[in-house]
Amino acid sequence: MYRAPRGTFDILPDQQAYWQYIRSKVADICQLYGYERIDTPIFESSGLFVRSIGDDTDIVQKEMYTFDDRGGDQLTLRPEGTAPVCRAYLEHGMYNFPQPVRLYYIGPSFRYERPQAGRYRQHWQFGVEAIGESDASIDAEIIDMAWSLYRSVGLRDLVLKLNSIGCPKCRPQYLEALKNYYSQNFDRLCSDCKRRLDRNPLRILDCKNETCMSLAEQAPRSIDYLCDDCAEHFRLLVRYLEILGLRPEVDHHLVRGLDYYTRTVFEIQPHAEEGAQSTIGGGGRYDGLIEELGGKPTPAIGFATGIERMVVNMKRQGIELPPASRPEAFVAFLGQEAKEKAVECVGWMRGEGIGTILASGNRSLKAQLRQANTFGASFAVIIGEDELRDGLVMLRDMSGGEQRRVTFDEALQALQQSGK
């Protein structure tokens, strides 16, 4: 028997309510904040991701699904949405549009990770990107939008973690200080971090090894090394967040796993959970990325959330969803001639916008009514020999069991009334 590939799963009908609910909230929030939808291809040239996410990141080193197509092009299933959106921004000359350009996307992403709860090889991301604005008020807008989405699906007890990792002007001094600090403690670093020390010392702060975590406690903090502009940007961001009623927790170890970030980085986590998989969503500023991809210097910021992680947390918090809508009517029949009438009636009913299911097979009336109950239909329309002869139908209220013989038009009217 074939099974879904490791790290992937089917979303069965009984789970779709969560997904549908989240999608509808996403659409509402994006409309509210003025973000427009963009869809990019599921695969892109591999170079796009290597260039933007960074050579030394786990994603590029170990997690990309990369393949050569039959024409010899090297392609990668998108591991995230920011780089493709920036590629599209440049390709379609969106720098000529009024700035910032506000975009959102929702779709699957692929990372060859070790599967565990909340970590999959195919996961769905909803993300937003605001490209072409450096003001801290847009950082606040993006963070507020993420927060509002979680609140709108009912999630509570969340923590907003915030940090600033500076810009190309001030970061080198900070990296130098980090290297100095960790060089003095080199022997205590895990083997991964020993390797990271020269190439990507920021990532040591994020290491989940116990000794590395305790070393991080005393490590130099990026916000102490910010240049005046970055410090002012951070101060204003915290101020705007306060005005919006958000209370960020400054986390000096928050650096994020993608190399394109500058200044603002943030993550949102459930209060009680710690650890990499507990992050529901995160993002940050990437002021150098558009230029890195061949455009003019263009500031930008964005955010993405895993839909699976939203669903897991909604279930954990016992969030009830509005009941799924059920078909309004079920059409039962007795005999071949009545069946033909039933097929015709079902067509008319759907044409009138009434969700209708036709009984399957040629079962007894009792069995058909049991089916109607299983589907959760509010009414059954029954066509027997007598009804056929008299040009009527039997309309049965499935909740109370009362039934009456009516014309088909009367049945339609009753169904339309009850559906309102």
Judged by the rule CB under 6 A, the positions of this chain that interact with ligand HAM are 80-82, 111, 113, 118-120, 123, 125, 127, 129, 257-258, 279-284, 302-306, 308-309
Looking at the DSSP assignment, which residues form a beta bridge with residue 110?
122
Is the CB of 290 or the CB of 380 nearer to ligand HAM? 290
Smaller CB separation from ligand HAM, 104 or 182 = 104
29/381 with CB nearer ligand HAM: 29
Select 76 or 279, whichever has its Cβ closest to ligand HAM: 279
**Residue 353: what residue type?**
G
Cα angle vertex 170, ends 164, 172, to 5°? 105
- Contact (Cβ atoms closer than 8 angstroms) between residue 293 and residue 52: yes
Per DSSP, the three-state class of 330 is strand
Q: Give the nearest distance from C-beta 123 to ligand HAM in angstroms.
A: 3
- Of the chain, the end-to-end C-alpha distance in Å amounts to 46
Enter the tokens of residue 94.
């969106």
The nearer residue to ligand HAM, 104 or 240, going by C-beta atoms, is 104
| Least separation in angstroms between CB 310 and ligand HAM | 8
Which amino acid, 58? D
> What is the nearest approach in angstroms of ligand HAM to the Cβ of residue 87?
13
Residue 157 tokens read as: 């007890």
Smallest separation (angstroms) from ligand HAM to the CB of 65: 12
Decide if 76 contacts 46 (C-beta within 8 A). Answer: yes
275-293 exposure pattern, b = at least 16 Cβ within 10 A, e = fewer: eeebbbbbbbbbbbbbebb
Number of residue whose CB is nearest ligand HAM: 302
Q: How far is the CB of 385 from ligand HAM (least distance, A)?
A: 57
The secondary element (H helix, E strand) that includes residue 234 is helix 228-243
Q: Which residue has the tokens 């078909």?
A: 327
Cβ of residue 151: shortest distance to ligand HAM, in angstroms? 17
Question: Residue with structure tokens 């799963």?
Answer: 9
The least distance separating ligand HAM from the CB of residue 162, rounded to whole angstroms, comes to 14
Please tell me the distance from the alpha carbon of residue 80 to that of residue 88, in angstroms, as a whole number: 14
> Is the CB of 248 or the CB of 376 nearer to ligand HAM?
248
Longest Cα separation, the chain: 95
- The least CB distance from residue 241 to ligand HAM, in Å, is 17
Residues 314, 155: contact at Cβ < 8 Å?
yes
Q: How far is the CB of 41 from ligand HAM (least distance, A)?
A: 16
**Which residue number, 177 or 246, has a Cβ lying nearer to ligand HAM?**
246
Answer whether the bond into residue 84 is a cis peptide, omega within 30°.
no
Tell me if residue 250 falls in helix, strand or coil. strand
Based on CB atoms, which residue is closest to ligand HAM, 253 or 339?
Answer: 253
CA 69 to chain centre: 28
Residue 222 or 371: the one with the smaller Cβ distance to ligand HAM is 222
Pick 120 or 330: Cβ nearer ligand HAM: 120
- 353 CB-contact burial (10 Å; exposed 0-12 / middle 13-18 / buried 19+): exposed
CB count within 10 Å of CB 206 equals 18
CA-to-CA distance for 106 and 126, rounded, in angstroms?
Answer: 4
Closest among 183, 172, 265 to 226, alpha carbons compared: 172
Query: Least distance in Å: CB of 82 to ligand HAM?
Result: 4
State the nearest-atom distance from the C-beta of 107 to ligand HAM, in Å: 12
As beta bridge partners, residue 284 has: 265, 302
Q: Which positions ≥6 away from 271 have C-beta within 8 Å?
A: 157, 158, 159
85 or 334: CB nearest ligand HAM = 85
